[in-house]
A and B are shown apart, each in its own frame.
Chain A
Amino acid sequence: SQQGEEDPQALSIQEGENATMNCSYKTSINNLQWYRQNSGRGLVHLILIRSNEREKHSGRLRVTLDTSKKSSSLLITASRAADTASYFCATVTGGGADGLTFGKGTHLIIQP
């Protein structure tokens, strides 16, 4: 079952600009995580935000979480060509060692 839905599906911006991706989900969550995937590779964890947190920063990344709207956003500031990748939000609903439920991802292209 698809829990997270990223928006937009694709995003192309100039190097140096900020990139914002959004994620909406349907059910209550324990936490929400963002992952990056470079073409044909595995996923790399970027940041985790718990359901009782509203904002979190890590380097050039800023994540917000609005549990009342069941949505999250990922902001990448001062984008670089190396940020070109697909970005996925994933939710953990709790209740055991169940896996992540992923959205379909946002494909981000940074134009040099």
Chain B
Amino acid sequence: DVKVTQSSRYLVKRTGEKVFLECVQDMDHENMFWYRQDPGLGLRLIYFSYDVKMKEKGDIPEGYSVSREKKERFSLILESASTNQTSMYLCASRSQPGTGGYNEQFFGPGTRLTVL
């Protein structure tokens, strides 16, 4: 059974703290993604990585960075957390697109982050 895990289900941090959200997948997928989900705005792509040590900005990268040192792990970093980063964060992975086109993404359970 495929699995994407996230390090925490709930996290509370203070403004200005450095925050690490970890995501691990066991499917040997090349592509990994970080989204945030907010009421009324839906899911928005923050960053993605198509392979180890590679990263690309999504639609809303400001205030975030990422790290992909190993294929199975993709970390989202909030350098200095702010209250407007309070949100649900979802990690996903996907196998490299093939001749059939793009495949489905597999999501983790999410981390609900509150920044006070």
Pairs across A and B, CB under 8 Å, 13 listed: A33-B104, A33-B105, A35-B107, A40-B112, A42-B90, A42-B107, A43-B90, A45-B106, A48-B104, A97-B49, A97-B50, A99-B105, A104-B40
The interface residues of chain B lying within 8 Å CB-to-CB of A42 are 4, 90, 107-110
The interface residues of chain A lying within 8 Å CB-to-CB of B97 are 97
The interface residues of chain B lying within 8 Å CB-to-CB of A98 are 45, 48, 56, 58
The 8 closest A-B pairs by CB, nearest first: A97-B50, A42-B107, A99-B45, A45-B104, A104-B42, A102-B43, A43-B107, A92-B102
A41-B110 contact, Cβ under 8 Å, with A99-B33, A102-B43: yes
C-alpha spacing A101/B31, complex, angstroms = 16
Whether A102 pairs with B50 at a CB distance below 8 angstroms is: no
Whether B50 pairs with A96 at a CB distance below 8 angstroms is: yes
A97-B90 contact, Cβ under 8 Å, with A43-B107, A45-B106, A104-B40: no
The interface residues of chain B lying within 8 Å CB-to-CB of A64 are none
Interface of A with B (CB < 8 Å)?
A: 1-2, 30-31, 33, 35, 40-45, 48, 50, 88, 90, 92, 94, 96-105
- In the complex, the chain A residue whose C-beta lies closest to that of B47 is A99
C-alpha spacing A110/B44, complex, angstroms = 27
Interface of B with A (CB < 8 Å)?
A: 4, 30-31, 33, 35, 40-45, 48-50, 56, 58-59, 88, 90, 92, 94, 96-97, 100-110, 112
Whether A94 pairs with B110 at a CB distance below 8 angstroms is: no
Chain B interface main SS type = strand
The interface residues of chain B lying within 8 Å CB-to-CB of A97 are 30-31, 48-50, 56, 94, 96-97
The interface centre, meaning the residue of A30, A41, A90, A99 with most chain B CB atoms within 10 A of its CB, is A99
- In the complex, the chain A residue whose C-beta lies closest to that of B4 is A42
C-alpha spacing A92/B94, complex, angstroms = 12
C-alpha spacing A94/B88, complex, angstroms = 26
Shortest C-beta distance, A90 to chain B (Å), equals 8
Shortest C-beta distance, A45 to chain B (Å), equals 4
C-alpha spacing A104/B43, complex, angstroms = 7
Shortest C-beta distance, B55 to chain A (Å), equals 11
C-alpha spacing A50/B48, complex, angstroms = 22
